[in-house]
A and B are shown apart, each in its own frame.
Chain A
């Protein structure tokens, strides 16, 4: 069976753990519980007639005080950048993380999730900024861990990208 390591990266409280939980257990809780260190989950998906085990590393979000430990990214096949649609700063953080990762690991598949799309009245990140990233070739998914919107699709897309590589 093929195993692939995926790292969830992004600012704190953008919904990384909720996205993983939605993807792995199809569950959601409004209660925000911060992640300490790293939380590892596994999920087997079937893709192109083969089973793929995703080892998902949910890494504690950056809060400006501590940076992500580089060794956590060792062996990863892909990563998911997560931003919170209601907090502009989280997109900046995601892009900064991306720059750092590219410098260290070069060409690793990734996708960007624009999470919390269900909070429509609180959207802060401009659609034009997201469109611009799409135009630049980024795979961007507008997701909601709360409703499950696009979550499965996002993980599948990354899996495809990892397998294609």
Chain B
């Protein structure tokens, strides 16, 4: 029963299994397939499977299989594929294998039918491709021809690649120039003009010219020729210039069109970037100019603000300007940066603005002030602060003004601040204020002179006044020729 099943199974798998019993004779272990008669022609009549044809494929394989079976060392050998026409007239492929199984000498023959045609088609396609490839190079002449075509193509592509690298390098260098801090547009134009020829096929005979707003920038070898390529420089859709590249001579006869399309792209890319840089740079210049104008307007306004006092007290207005100058000089002497110097100057210009609330006759009256009058005068710091705090300065101007009568030891007013509680700007302003006040004429007394003023601040250095500020101020007047102006 089981044997019957296995026989059917082997037949389904297109396998015939035989056991070699010696002398090229076999015992059939599987069902008898009719195609077996191809290899064992007498088997149908005798029921003996004896293979006698040594010249057919199976016979040839048995010449290897029989020693293999006797040797018994290896477990399997294969015959490879062969094809024959079976008795039904169908062409089939076969493959045989010999096995040593439990000391039994087994021969398995497998038949492949239509399913093998796929493998044949694959092999066919591979050989067709090989044949087509071979046909490409049929003769040595062909080989030479194709080799030279191939070599020419490789050379052309290599040259193309080299050109593209040159163009990219040029564009990269130009972009880097534009990315750097631009000192001036004129320098940028000159640099670009000298760089552009390097991106072209024949840099040694290339020259360039850039015309911007009717100004011309060109390479020393510039010469306009018929071998020219050009691009327009535009800013905000307005053409403002033109970049031209010329070859000063015709390089080869074959170069009917000496410029690559990529070189046109290169010149347009440079022009486009240049247009953007000019737009940006011009906008920056305008912005900077606007900022400077605004600053000047602001300082003029502050100055004008300070001179309002002149209406009430001509002396105080002049005093503020002079204090501002001294304070600015001290700040510079102390190596403060430009912005800090500016803050000090502006604060000096309006430090007494609060005196606008002090009656004019107290401000300009000759003679010594009463205690009450002096108390009134002392309110000007607070008033100045109150006026200025409403203005949105980006600096602590109101604070400086409020503190400008504070002293290092806390003896000043209005808040008796000490040491570092007083802003550095204020400490500068305080010294400048004292020096100017003592060295200038007052309505109630003549000038005490600059020497007295310097003596005062020197005597109180570190007590009332910041020592560094005092030192800077003394240096300015005694060593650096600073003068009080009227």
Contact = CB atoms under 8 A, between A and B. Distances in A.
Interface of A: 3-5, 12-13, 32-40, 55, 57, 63-64, 69, 71-72, 74-75, 86-89, 124
B56 A38 contact: no
B1 interface: no
Interface residues of B, number: 26
Question: How would you classify the secondary structure of chain A's contact residues: helix, strand, loop or mixed?
Answer: loop
The 10 closest A-B pairs by CB, nearest first: A37-B81, A38-B82, A55-B55, A5-B55, A34-B124, A39-B83, A37-B82, A34-B127, A12-B127, A34-B123
Contacts of A37: 80-83, 93
B159 interface: no
B119 interface: yes
Contacts of A87: 134, 138
Contacts of B119: 36
Interface string B269-308: 0000000000000000000000000000000000000000
A39 B134 contact: no
A4 B55 CA distance: 8
Contacts of A74: 60, 63
B130 A12 contact: yes
Contacts of A57: 57
B60 A88 contact: no
15 contacts: A4-B55, A13-B127, A35-B83, A36-B123, A37-B82, A37-B83, A38-B81, A38-B82, A39-B82, A39-B84, A63-B130, A71-B64, A75-B60, A75-B63, A86-B138
Nearest to B130: A63
A122 to B, nearest CB: 8
A49 B56 CA distance: 25
B114 interface: no
Given A36-B81, A36-B116, A75-B54, 14 more contacts: A13-B131, A34-B127, A36-B123, A37-B83, A37-B93, A38-B83, A40-B82, A55-B55, A69-B80, A74-B63, A75-B55, A87-B138, A88-B138, A88-B139
Interface string B51-65: 000111100100110
Interface in B465-483: none
Contact of B56 (A55, A63, A71): A55
A36 B56 CA distance: 16
Contacts of A40: 56-57, 82-84
